[in-house]
Each structure stands twice: as C-alpha cells, then as structure tokens.
Amino acid sequence: MSEQSETTLSPDDVLVRPQPTPNPAALKFVVNQPLKREGKATINAPEEVPELKLVESLFQVQGVKQLHFFQNTVTVTHEGSLSPEELIENVIPVLKTRIPIHNPDFGEPEPKAGPKKDRDSLSPEVQQVEEILDRTIRPGLQADGGDVEVIKMDGNEVYILYQGACGGCPSSMMGTLDAIQSILQHEMANPEISVIPI
C-alpha cells in the first residue's frame, strides 16, 4: 500500500507546530498525526520514496534539500533561499493537504551503501556503542529533529553519520561530537576512543 486509501482526516484536522532546531538551516515540524510509525527515515531526494506524495510535495518547496521523518515530526533542512518564516508559510500548507493521504507505514528509503543493518549482526563493540547512544545521546538529538547513525568501528575509531537537523549543524560538529566521544570513552572505559563524523 503506497498511500492511505480510506481516511476521514481533513486538512483542518492536521495541526502543525514549527520549531527551531540548533541547526540554522533546519526547522522541525511537529504534527498531531504519525508521519513515520516505525523507525526513522532521512530522505535526500523524492526518488528515494516515489510512492509518497508528501515527500514529493515538500521537495517542491524552494530550497528544501533533506527531510528527516521520526514519529510525528519531519525536520526540513533547506539551503537558505527562504527565511524561516517563508519556509514555514510554504511547508505548513503542504503538510495539511498531504498528511490526510500520507502512509506513515512507509518503508525505509533505498540505502546508498549496502543493505540496512540488523543490530544482531553487528559486532559486540558496535552493539555496545549503539546501546550507549540510544540511552544517552539519541533522545536529545531526536528532540532537536536529528539523529546519529554508527557506520562502523575500526579499532578505537567510531565512524558516525549525522542525520536530519544534525547534518551540517555547527553544534554537531563541535559540542555534540565532543559529548559523544566523552560519553563513549567513559562508558566503554577506553580513553583512546575517537569519534569521526563522515
């Protein structure tokens, strides 16, 4: 099923609350309807999920370059051609008209590099890193409209990829990165761990 076929939801039923994020190039929109029931999705082009009219329409807003869906929020990252107020004025009508036909059970976009990781298949060290991030860092990042993905661990080096509002955010590259590294060093009792964003 690509779009919801039977719904009684109207655009007037959709309530949208825009919120700033620490990234000046990203705004988070909190909606009173589910946008992604399970997991999260970072989408860089409408072709990644061609069945979703909501995604297609949001990418038609001037300057939109990435969407990050998580539960009842979508973080819209833009290239700055519109002011935050103009972006809000353009995004809210799209959300109100497209959410009534949106399928919040959509699958993950096609990954750029290899299949989606199953945590059970990860090394014990990477599973430990994921568990620590789930408990300490991710709730804050997700509250700000972003997230972090562990790409791999090579010796004492942990390679991560910022998602949503965290991608390209100045505070991600400095304060958040230092916090992730300090927490992992402490929790894994290894002062040699370094975290490398890619």
Report domain extents, the chain: 11-101, 119-197
Phi, psi of 35 (to 5 degrees): -105, -30
**CATH level 2 (architecture), domain 119-197:** 2-Layer Sandwich (3.30)
Q: What is the pLDDT of residue 177?
A: 82
- Share of residues in the chain with pLDDT > 90 (%): 42
* Structure tokens that stand for 28 in this block: 């988070």
Q: What is the pLDDT of residue 180?
A: 87
Neighbours of 83 (CB within 10 A): 9
Is CATH 3.30.1370.70 the right assignment for the domain spanning 11-101? yes
Q: Cα separation of 24 and 70, whole Å?
A: 19
More confident residue, 163 or 54: 54
Q: What is the pLDDT of residue 169?
A: 63
Q: Cα separation of 104 and 111, whole Å?
A: 19
For residues 99 and 14, is the Cβ–Cβ distance under 8 A?
A: yes
pLDDT of 114 > 50? The answer is no
Tell me what the mean pLDDT of segment 138-167 comes to: 82
As a whole number, the mean pLDDT across the chain is: 84
Tell me what the mean pLDDT of segment 83-109 comes to: 92
pLDDT of 58 > 70? The answer is yes
pLDDT of 80 > 80? The answer is yes
Q: pTM for the complete prediction?
A: 0.68
For residues 28 and 145, is the Cβ–Cβ distance under 8 A?
A: yes
Q: Where are the beta strands (DSSP E) in the chain?
A: 16-20, 26-31, 36-43, 64-71, 73-78, 146-154, 157-164, 194-197
* Structure tokens that stand for 112 in this block: 């750029």
Q: Cα separation of 118 and 122, whole Å?
A: 7
